[in-house]
Amino acid sequence: MGNEINHHQGAPAYERDHGGGPERRNAYLPISEMGKLAEEGLFTAMFLGDIAGTAGSPAFDGGPPEPITAFAALARDTEYLGLIATASTSFYDPYNLARLLGSLDQLSDGRAGFNAVTSVSEEWALNYSKEGHPDRKTRYQIADEFLDVVTGLWENRSLRYDADGIRRFYADPINHQGKHFQVLGPLNVAPSPQGRPLIAQAGGSGPGIRVAAKHAEMVFTNANTPQQAREYRAQLDEALVEAGRPAGTVPAIPGLIPYLGRTTAEAEERQRALDDHVDYELYAPFALIQFGLEYTFDSIDDPFPLDQLPKPEDVQDTIKSTYGNYVGLYTWISDNPGVTVRDVTAHSLARGGAQHRKFVGSYDDFVADLATWHEEGTVGGFNLMFPTGVIGIRDFVEEVVPRLIDRGIYRGSPDSRPLRERFRD
Residues contributing to the annotated binding site for FMN:
50, 86, 140, 205
* Amino acid type, 17: D
Nearer to ligand FMN, 117 or 183 (CB): 117
Instruction: Give, in degrees to the nearest 5, the angle at Cα 424 between 418 and 425.
Output: 115
Question: Which residues, 31 to 70, sit near ligand FMN by CB under 6 A?
Answer: 49-50, 52
CB closer to ligand FMN out of 192 and 221: 221
- Of the residues 9, 78, 119, 194, which one makes contact with ligand FMN according to CB under 6 A: 119
Residue of 159, 153, 189, 191 lying closest to 172 (CA atoms): 153
| Binding region | 50, 86, 140, 205
Indicate the residue among 142 and 400 with the shorter CB distance to ligand FMN. Answer: 142
| Contacting residue, 220, 283, 330, 373, with ligand FMN by CB under 6 A | 220
Q: How far apart are CA 109 and CA 76, in angstroms?
A: 11
202 near ligand FMN, rule: CB under 6 A: yes
Q: 263 or 318, CB closer to ligand FMN?
A: 318
Residue 116: partners with Cβ closer than 8 Å, 6 or more residues away: 87, 89, 143, 146, 147, 199, 200, 201, 202, 211, 215, 216
- Cβ contacts of residue 184 below 8 Å, gap of 6+? 173, 174, 175, 176
Counted residue by residue, the chain has a size of: 425
CB nearer to ligand FMN: give 2 or 191: 2
Task: Show the site string, 71-90: x = touches ligand FMN by CB under 6 A, - = not.
Answer: ---------------x-x--
Compute the distance between CA of residue 187 and CA of residue 173 in angstroms, rounded to an integer.
Answer: 8
Looking at residue 107, its amino acid is L
Q: For residues 341 and 345, give the distance between their C-alpha atoms in angstroms, rounded to a whole number.
A: 6
Query: How many whole angstroms separate alpha carbon 322 and alpha carbon 49?
Result: 14
Does residue 223 touch ligand FMN according to CB under 6 A? Answer: no
Q: Is 203 in the site for ligand FMN (CB under 6 A)?
A: yes
Among 21, 30, 152, 208, binds ligand FMN (CB under 6 A): 208
Task: Tell me: does residue 205 bind ligand FMN (CB under 6 A).
Answer: yes
Q: Please spell the DSSP secondary structure of 300-359, one letter per residue.
A: TTSBP-GGGSPPGGGSTTT-SS-HHHHHHHHHHHHHSTT-BHHHHHIIIIITSSTT-EEE
For ligand FMN, the closer of residues 280 and 326 by Cβ is: 326
In whole angstroms, the minimum distance from the beta carbon of 45 to ligand FMN comes to: 15
Residue 91 touches ligand FMN, criterion: CB under 6 A: no
User: What's the longest Cα–Cα distance across the chain?
Assistant: 79
Cβ proximity to ligand FMN: between 95 and 323 the closer is 323
Asked if 192 interacts with ligand FMN (CB under 6 A), we say no
Q: Which is nearer to ligand FMN, 32 or 222 (CB)?
A: 222
Cβ 175 to ligand FMN shortest distance, Å = 29
Interface residue with ligand FMN among 32, 78, 108, 118 (CB under 6 A) is 118
Least spacing, CB of residue 387 vs ligand FMN, in Å = 17
State which amino acid sits at residue 338.
Answer: G
Q: CA 5 → CA 2, 46, 137, 354, distances in Å?
A: 8, 13, 26, 10
SS3 content of the chain, % helix, strand, coil (to 5): 45, 15, 40
Q: Is 290 in the site for ligand FMN (CB under 6 A)?
A: no
- Minimum CB distance to ligand FMN smaller for 74 or for 401: 74
Does 355 bind ligand FMN (CB under 6 A)? Our answer is: no
Site for ligand FMN in 295-334 (CB under 6 A): 322-324
Instruction: Give the nearest distance from C-beta 104 to ligand FMN in angstroms.
Output: 17
Whether 61 contacts 27, CB under 8 Å: yes
Q: For the beta carbon of residue 230, count every other beta carbon within 10 angstroms.
A: 14
Report, in Å, the least distance between residue 276 CB and ligand FMN: 28
> How many C-beta neighbours within 10 Å does residue 105 have?
30
List of residues contacting ligand FMN (CB under 6 A):
49-50, 52, 86, 88, 117-120, 136, 202-205, 208, 220-222, 255, 322-324
